[in-house]
Copies of this chain bind each other. A is one copy, B any other.
Amino acid sequence: MVNETNEVDAPRVLRVALLGCGTVGAQVARTMLTQREDLAAKSGCELDLVGVAVHDAGRPRPGIPDELLTDDPEALVADGGADIVIELIGGIDPPRRLVLSAIDRGASVVTANKALLAKHGEEIYAAAEREGVDIYYEAAVAGAIPIVRPLRESLVGDQILTIMGIVNGTTNYILDKMTTEHQDFATALATAQRLGFAEADPTADIEGFDAASKAAILASLAYHSTVRIDDVYREGITGVTSEDIEAAESMGCVIRLLAIARLDEAGRIEVRVHPATVAREHPLAMVQGANNAIFVEAANAGRLMFMGPGAGGSPTASAVTGDLVTVARNRLRGVENPAHSVYQGLPVAPMSETRTRYHLRFQVVDQPGVLAAAAGLLAGNRVSIHSVHQHAPRADDRPTGTAVLSMVTHLAREADVMACIAELERTGYVHGQVRFMRAEGL
């Protein structure tokens, strides 16, 4: 602690440069400017905001003195003498360059940039380790929900078996609307955009890229290994139909976009993002609207669940500010925390070898022997059936003389199930496509 009689010549002021002043950055700047004293008491020193880099320095920013603004983030990092750099611009470049340059100059870094860390984390963590500075990123996964620190510290003495989370609020909002208000995907997306839950270009969210970045970060932390976004199997929600939602409902399930990381039997990391059915009683099924939730199962700790707002200016800024105080405390005591250990160096399993349960749904000609044939085809591919349900198709949109087969498998290999689907679609008794959905949380 810094006080008058401290013998060490501890700095009384730390210089902080803020890169980006948008949804999150503006809120961080406001907190730093209006809660100076409180943050000083919590950190043990003054946190002096020395500059705020934006794209358009001419636009006035309420509550932020003009003289702090600059449109030259490179110069702010190079010449600002910052002890701590907070990166809230987003995207890969310029953030990658700026973060590495800050580290090279001996600054500690706080960022919320999951895309950057999921792509270039290895390079950035190594640079931080080399220069002996901190890199903190609590806000990069699930906004205000503390999950990075719990994995990095609280659970570090345990073995993480599974992480399963709803880590993208936009897609959860859309799926929730499709479920509770029976909207189709396009309508639900439009609603989300109108209400500010989805961006004008929603690709990163609905195609699962955002969730995949977070899955990579979670898997890296949980398994002390390098996992990049390209290692993550990814399916978005654009293919989820109202019929899928209804079919899930009739089985007592809802559909959620899940980010999953788990250890498989061979000691490899399974890491994937895709829509999946979840039983209505499962805690993850209860996550409504744009909220996030992460379920962690560990060998000793058992089943833990973390819930809360996964995005938004204020919640995300809360996580960034918590990191800022932690980094400042470390800085004062002249230390850094290990950025990220990769001592386990586990490989990532190919998606084809993932084992989970599957829900298959397809239309068949309604005649004796078809169910037996389909079951035989699955068995021949090492896929065993847990339950099967045959019912008449909806009168309005199906040819007569057909039935719908709905099956839930036991644990099966992805490659085997994909082979079944391809074979089924080639038989004479299956009409059209075989729909499938992975079933999780059982």
Contacts and interface: CB of A to CB of B under 8 A. Distances in A.
Interface of A: 1, 27, 31, 39, 41-42, 44, 129, 138, 144-146, 149-150, 153-158, 224, 283, 286, 298-309, 312, 314-315, 317-326, 329, 333-335, 337-338, 341, 343-344
A55 to B, nearest CB: 24
B302 A308 contact: yes
Contacts of A300: 27, 31, 144, 314-315, 317-318, 321
Given A158-B322, A326-B153, A329-B337, A305 B308 contact: yes
Contacts of A146: 146, 149-150, 154-155, 304
A237 to B, nearest CB: 24
Query: How many copies of this protein are present in the complex?
Result: 2
The interface residues of chain A, by DSSP majority, are classed as mixed
Question: Which of A305, A322, A326: most chain B CB closer than 10 A?
Answer: A322
A338 B286 CA distance: 38
A318 B150 CA distance: 12
A42 B144 CA distance: 26
Contacts of A309: 301-304
Contact of A303 (B1, B308, B325): B308
A144 B154 CA distance: 8
A333 B129 CA distance: 13
B129 A325 contact: no
Contact of A322 (B44, B154, B299, B337): B154
A129 B1 contact: yes
B156 A326 contact: yes
Nearest to A309: B302
A108 to B, nearest CB: 15
Nearest to A334: B335
A343 B41 contact: yes
B144 A149 contact: no
B301 A308 contact: yes
A9 to B, nearest CB: 16
Given A157-B322, A326-B156, A343-B41, A315 B302 contact: yes
Contacts of A305: 305-308
Contacts of A298: 144, 318
A318 B338 contact: no
B304 A307 contact: yes
A247 to B, nearest CB: 26
A150 B155 CA distance: 12
A193 B373 CA distance: 54
